[in-house]
Amino acid sequence: NNNNNNNNNNNNNLNLNLINSNNLINTNNNNQTKTIEQIFEKIYKNSNSKDERFKRLNAVLTAIDQIIIEKKTTPTPNAYFALLFTSLADNWKKTTENEASMLLYLIAILIPNVTIAGLRTKFSTIATVFCNLIDTNCESLTILQPLIKCIGYLIRAQDHSNPWLSQGQTLKLFNFILTITIDSRQKLRKSAIKAIRIIAEFNSFSAKECAEVIFPFCEKLFNNSNETDLPNRKKENLLIQSTLLMLTSVLPVLHRVTIASLSQTIIENLLNGVFFTQQMVITGFECLTMLFNDPKSNISFETTAKLYEKIYELQSLESSSIVFLQFIQLLTSATIKLISFNPNLNLENLSIALTTLVDSYYNEDIQVSKCLTENIKKLINSTIDISKINIDNVNEQNEWNTASIEETIANFAEHLQNATLQSYKSNWSQLLIVLTVFFQKLGPYITTFASELFKQTGSLLETMNSNTNNNKIPITPQLEQAFEAAIIAIGPKETLELFPIYFEDDAIRLPRVWILPFIKHHTGTKDKINPNLWSFEYFANTIVFWADQIKELQQKAISKGHETRSRHLRAIYVQIWDLFTCFSQASDVAQHFPIVARRLGIAISDEPPLRISVLNGLIQLIEHNKTNLQSQNESIANLAKQNINSIAQYSKNFLPILFNLYSTVREEQIPLPTSIIAFVSISSKELVNTFFSSVVAKLIEATKIITTEAKSNNNNNNNNNKEIKKKSNKLQKLNDRAAALFLSDLTCCFIQSLNQTSLKLLYKAIKPQLLQQIISDYKLEKKSYKILSLMCQYHPKFVYRNIDKLLQVVLGTLNSCSSPSKKSRLRCISSIVKSLPVNNEKLLKKLTLKKKKKSSKSIKKLQDSDMQTDDIDIINNDDNNNNDNNNNDNDAEIDGNDNDAEIDGNVDIEYEINAFKKLFAEIVAEVILCTKEKNNKARKEAYNTLIEMAEKLRQNPLVENQPINVLDLGIKEFFLMVLAGLAGKTPFMISASTLALSRLLFEFQKYLDAETLIQLIDAVTVLLKSPNREIVTSILGFCKVVIVSINRDILESVLQTLVSRLVVWANEAKNQFRTKIRILFERLVRKFGFDKIATFLPPSESKLMAYIKKEKQRKK
């Protein structure tokens, strides 16, 4: 208020000029104008803080806001600065240190956003106040720290067309900041260094002006230190240390001439011993390193080249590992900077630097080794560009041209090889990491520049693997990574040429037997391999040829009785075929798959040891190309299509082989079902229908035989040869049953690729098993439900068009379904619920017309009814015009033009929801009971089905646009339907209903009104009075959901009731009730506090709250 009434002309002028300069360009650090709220965001956020400092800062800003409003001025950074500075200028003599520091703190936050013109106009006035504050508060940290920042921005704002060094105030302020950089107080030093950098990096003129002051300042300090005797240089050493720290940040942004002079001075002082302490040497290295690393550095190429020549001399200063670490970083930074100016002219320096660093691995210090590794990796990735490699640069003597990228790479590879030839050291693991990066960088040029290094790496790995000691050498993982990187880079062809397999007349000699499994293990699942290097042509013409040669040698060994050699050759034979999976990403499959197709079929059918590798390879080959079909790159998609067509030509040969194996081989490791699915997915529709019709016909025949035998066994009770016939019938029944089970499994492999006609045929085949017609076999029933669930999953259009028939079967088998079939049955129910028609009165009436509970007679009639022509509607798609490989997509589309799918806009919303309710009422009880099934997957499907039923009501397009009471009509009624299960006669039903309500509440509580939620919580928690532990356990889970998900206000309204009911079981140790209830109370305490919860607890439970409070304090 005093500031507002002040009539001082200078201050009024300052106020006016700063406020009226808002339209000028605002140049700040971000080059963006910020609002007041953004500038003082931290202060405004802490307006309610208990910190008195933030309270006072908010009070000051509030007062300024009022003044701005009274003056009807736009609230800009300039306006706020003017008022804050006016207050400071008028009262700097009267205000206390705390008040002045608060004002300066606000000004320091604000000044980066004040316009340059505003600061420049009133520079003299502002500088005078700052000088006065310096003179009177030279020891106050809280004043000097924000003041230094303000001075930095003030000097930066000066008119640089005239040297500001000639201005007394400016020079005084800058010298003050410069002096602070060597102050003993660290926070002030940091602030001063930041301020100088703010000034120097503003533009080239500022950098030059700063340099003209900083250079003599540093020269004087260095010279004074050199003239002082060593025993008396403690104070000077501290000053030099502070100066070097300042230069570390400031030197890169100074003028180029000063950079050259000062950096040369630092190196000379380092070499001459002026900087003789270890800490001074380290700081000197850091200063030079930052000069090369700083992205805003103004250092020139000439200066960099001169300094680079001197850097190697600094290696003589290596007095400890710490100093050597800094030297490594300095050499790396200088090399990268030098190469960045002209990569072609400085390759010789790069070569010297790389070899120097590699040769430094003689130092086994782990920190030095890690530092060497990181810096060599940085050099390799930053300076070696393989795109500039020109193989033509080699002359007739196989010597690389001087000072070329080729020579640099070759020299580095040679030094790495020499390093690996030395005796083992503890830091070899770090050297091998460098080797890995080098191989990754070279890529396919490994064979050109580093073939000997690659061979040496393989020899080392062979030596490690042949180590008979139980203690594995610790560098083996790094060595494997390096070798793996090389194999991925050059491919199998080049690898096996460098590590060849030699064949003789009757023997095979493998110098490195481990190479084949190594390639398989380390590259078989890599997604980043180059498909061009893993050519299918190489596999078809070379790998398979080797395998056949080894097989011949094995047969010769068997004929000669060499069993051991035979087993050895057999193992190698399998290892070679294991490489097949590595070629799954090859791009030339279309041209060369026909060469090996017959050989692959023989391997699958006649050679059991090869089946897993070959089948996995075929699966990966098909799936990879199917994935590439979806690629946005047209050439990749076309190539994948050609590959798939080439493989699909042989489906008619592979599928019978796979069917025969599926019927005879029952090894879980062999992926026969996946293989069949893969081939069926790429086969023509005619071929799929042919095989499928045959399989289904056999399935129907097998089930009919079982049914006939079951009928004859029921009628034949008085046969004389009863026991003999019983045994023979039982044996025949087992064979037929095994065939039916096998054919059911085989059918699952076709479902994804079937058309509507085939789906009808399949439904006809499985319906007797679904209805348990004549026979009762839970395995066949389980298989049939699995088939039906897959039909629902892959063909939603089929489900939609035949939903009434499917509902009839599902509801008709409600009481007869066995427990193992529950999972697949629930999946079917979930799919049916998803496909329920919306806004289709005709189909809704069809579904709800006869939904009374069926008698056993009507169910018997359903079981005896055979599949009629109209039992399943067939969609008359023009299948011949569809793509053979897109049946699944066509089947999954719902035809909007069908009569059954027509939308009747006059359907009453309440009628539709009531129709859904009638349907759900018949199946919800079964779904609820399945939430307590022993099978975990069945329980998950039960919960998913409940959610689907609720989602069907919530996502109804008619419901979503209705008032809230219509919305309640769906979700609320479904909750009440499930809630009715609490009236069940058995604890099992009550517990299951509670679990179902818990999941539904967690998912849909936001769609229920407060009144419904309160009634629901009360209805469920009242059962805590039940003595049955099964019921109580499920209700405790419900309470946890309530506490976690319910709105705080609603929960507070039922808090007393909830606490009083929970506390009944608080002291019950059995079933971990006490622990569960304690956890619930801990959650309540976090929401409402100790005091509120304690008011609802009886005195006898005070120990519980005391324990919770104690544990909370202990965690803090």
How does pLDDT run across 888-913, given as a tens digit for each residue?
333 333 333 333 433 344 445 566 66
The packing angle between helices 822-834 and 936-954, to 10°, is 10
The packing angle between helices 405-421 and 347-359, to 10°, is 10
CB 914 within 8 A of CB 844: no
**DSSP states of 300-359:** -HHHHHHHHHHHGGGGGG--SHHHHHHHHHHHHHHHHHHHHH-TTTSHHHHHHHHHHHHH
**Tokens 């509970």 belong to which residue?**
853
Report the predicted TM-score, pTM, of the whole model to 2 decimal places.
Answer: 0.71
Q: Which of 79-88, 182-191, 478-487, 949-958 has the lowest average pLDDT? A: 949-958
CB 599 within 8 A of CB 563: no
SS3 875: coil
Other residues' Cβ atoms within 10 Å of the Cβ of residue 511? 12
Could you tell me the CA-to-CA distances from 740 to 698, 737, 785, 864, 894 in Å, in that order?
A: 8, 5, 14, 20, 33
CB-based contacts of 987, cutoff 8 Å, min separation 6: 1028, 1030, 1031
Q: Which of 622, 608, 620 is nearest to 669 (CA)?
A: 608
Give the phi and the psi of residue 425 in degrees, each rounded to 5. Answer: -125, 160
**Tokens 């490791």 belong to which residue?**
669
**Residue of higher predicted confidence among 969 and 835:** 835
CB-based contacts of 467, cutoff 8 Å, min separation 6: 473
Q: Is 403 left (phi over 0), alpha (psi -120 to 50) or beta?
A: left
pLDDT above 70 for 835: yes
Residue 575: Cβ-neighbour burial (10 angstroms; 0-12, 13-18, 19+): buried
Residue 287: Cβ-neighbour burial (10 angstroms; 0-12, 13-18, 19+): buried
CB 172 within 8 A of CB 132: no
Rounded Cα gap, residues 62 and 1, in angstroms: 12
Mean pLDDT of 90-98: 75
Rounded Cα gap, residues 1064 and 1059, in angstroms: 9
Q: What is the DSSP letter of 228?
A: S
For 372, what's the count of Cα atoms within 13 Å in the CB-facing half-sphere?
28
Q: Which of 76, 100, 79 is nearest to 90 (CA)?
A: 100
CB 555 within 8 A of CB 561: no
Structure tokens at 781: 């029933």
Q: Which of 753, 739, 749, 748 is nearest to 784 (CA)?
A: 748
Q: Which of 701, 692, 681, 702 is nearest to 659 (CA)?
A: 692
For 1000, what's the count of Cα atoms within 13 Å in the CB-facing half-sphere?
34
Residue type, 110: L
Query: What percent of the chain stands above pLDDT 70?
Result: 80
Mean pLDDT of 272-288: 84
pLDDT of residue 503: 58
Q: Which of 811, 802, 805, 807 is nearest to 855 (CA)?
A: 811
Rounded Cα gap, residues 791 and 783, in angstroms: 12
What stretches of 1050-1095 adopt beta strand conformation (E)?
Answer: none
Confidence of residue 527 (pLDDT cuts 50, 70, 90): low
Give the phi and the psi of residue 749 in degrees, each rounded to 5. Answer: -70, -20
Confidence of residue 528 (pLDDT cuts 50, 70, 90): low
Residue 265: Cβ-neighbour burial (10 angstroms; 0-12, 13-18, 19+): middle
- pLDDT tens digits for range 730-756: 444 556 778 888 888 888 888 888 888
CB 518 within 8 A of CB 457: no
Most confident of 223-232, 336-345, 680-689, 1093-1102: 680-689
CB-based contacts of 114, cutoff 8 Å, min separation 6: 18, 26, 28, 77, 78, 81, 153
pLDDT of residue 678: 92
Confidence of residue 8 (pLDDT cuts 50, 70, 90): very low
Residue type, 498: L
pLDDT of residue 884: 38
Rounded Cα gap, residues 854 and 859, in angstroms: 7
Rounded Cα gap, residues 973 and 967, in angstroms: 10
Give, in degrees to the nearest 5, the angle at Cα 710 between 705 and 714. Answer: 150
Please state the separation of Cα 628 from the chain's center in Å.
22
- pLDDT tens digits for range 1006-1060: 888 888 899 999 999 999 888 898 999 999 999 999 999 988 889 989 998 888 8
Look over the chain and give the mean of its residue pLDDT values, rounded to a whole number.
79
Structure tokens at 392: 């033509």
Please state the separation of Cα 397 from the chain's center in Å.
51
Mean pLDDT of 72-82: 86
pLDDT above 60 for 16: no
Q: What is the DSSP letter of 933?
A: -
Mean pLDDT of 195-213: 85
SS3 714: helix
The packing angle between helices 1073-1088 and 1029-1045, to 10°, is 20
Structure tokens at 235: 């104070």
Other residues' Cβ atoms within 10 Å of the Cβ of residue 1047? 12
Other residues' Cβ atoms within 10 Å of the Cβ of residue 1094? 17
Structure tokens at 446: 């490994």
**Residue of higher predicted confidence among 755 and 594:** 594
pLDDT of residue 610: 92
Mean pLDDT of 326-350: 85
pLDDT of residue 716: 53
Rounded Cα gap, residues 418 and 410, in angstroms: 12
pLDDT of residue 462: 81
Q: Which of 1053, 697, 756 is nearest to 877 (CA)?
A: 756
Rounded Cα gap, residues 211 and 574, in angstroms: 74
Give the phi and the psi of residue 588 in degrees, each rounded to 5. Answer: -110, 35
Bridge-based pairing state of the strands 502-503 and 508-509: antiparallel
pLDDT of residue 13: 38
Residues in the chain: 1116
Residue type, 390: N
pLDDT above 80 for 926: yes
Structure tokens at 425: 């050291």
Query: What percent of the chain stands above pLDDT 90?
Result: 15
**Tokens 């300094």 belong to which residue?**
307
Could you tell me the CA-to-CA distances from 230 to 136, 284, 314, 488, 759 in Å, in that order?
A: 37, 19, 22, 60, 98
Q: Which of 278-292, 372-386, 511-525, 528-542 has the lowest average pLDDT? A: 511-525
Residue type, 402: T
Mean pLDDT of 538-555: 90
Q: Which of 615-629, 1074-1088, 1095-1109 has the lowest average pLDDT? A: 1095-1109
Q: What is the per-residue burial (b if ≥16 Cβ within 10 Å, else e) of 666-679?
A: eeeebbbebbbbbb
pLDDT of residue 411: 86
Confidence of residue 526 (pLDDT cuts 50, 70, 90): low
Q: What is the DSSP letter of 32?
A: S
CB 476 within 8 A of CB 467: no
**Residue of higher predicted confidence among 1016 and 1112:** 1016
Could you tell me the CA-to-CA distances from 56 to 48, 88, 301, 472, 713 in Å, in that order?
A: 11, 15, 53, 66, 98
